[in-house]
Amino acid sequence: MKTMIFVFAMATFFLFSCNQPSENTTETKDSLLEVHESFSEETPENTAVDYQTAIIGKWEYEETQMTIGDQTTNIKAMYHWSLEFKTDGNFHEENQFAEGDEITTLDNTYTIKDNFLQRTGAIEVTIIELTKDQLVIESLSAKMVFNRVK
């Protein structure tokens, strides 16, 4: 959409400039190029996430977002859940359903293909969002939100 706006602005500029270059024409052209560059930098589809690198580190569970129809509910489904992804393709996972329950762990390998995360010994999940601070994965129509801790 932003690219279409830029193309329209450029076409309009050239249509009404009548091919008579002037100092104002050059300034306008430079301004339009700056606008295009800023759109290009802001457009998410122009920036692919390197999931393999961005996921490295430790993540703590915050909440689960469940959507049924047009209603979304946020719940804390686990008392404690942490994921740690290492550069060598291994991961460490801990979870505890309720306070006082035993902490269960899983140590194994993981792979990422496109935006699908497969942890050996666990079900495959889809990476919905991955930023420097937050990881959102989805499985069975539930989104699990994690925050980076290191």
On whether both 63 and 135 belong to a single domain, the answer is: yes
On whether both 70 and 129 belong to a single domain, the answer is: yes
Beta carbons of 2 and 38 less than 8 angstroms apart? no
On whether both 56 and 17 belong to a single domain, the answer is: no
Separation CA 23–CA 80 (nearest Å): 64
Residue 137: CATH number of its domain? 2.40.128.280
On whether both 39 and 68 belong to a single domain, the answer is: no
Separation CA 81–CA 95 (nearest Å): 4
On whether both 119 and 135 belong to a single domain, the answer is: yes
On whether both 40 and 79 belong to a single domain, the answer is: no
pLDDT in tens, the chain (150 residues): 444 333 333 333 333 334 444 445 455 445 545 544 544 444 444 457 899 999 999 999 999 999 988 999 999 999 999 999 999 999 999 999 999 999 999 999 999 999 999 999 889 999 999 999 999 999 988 999 999 997
First-to-final CA distance of the chain? 36
Q: Two tokens at 22?
A: 């002037």
Separation CA 51–CA 113 (nearest Å): 9
Number of domains in the chain: 2
The domain containing residue 19 runs over which residues?
A: 2-46
Separation CA 120–CA 73 (nearest Å): 29
On whether both 105 and 134 belong to a single domain, the answer is: yes
pTM of the model: 0.67
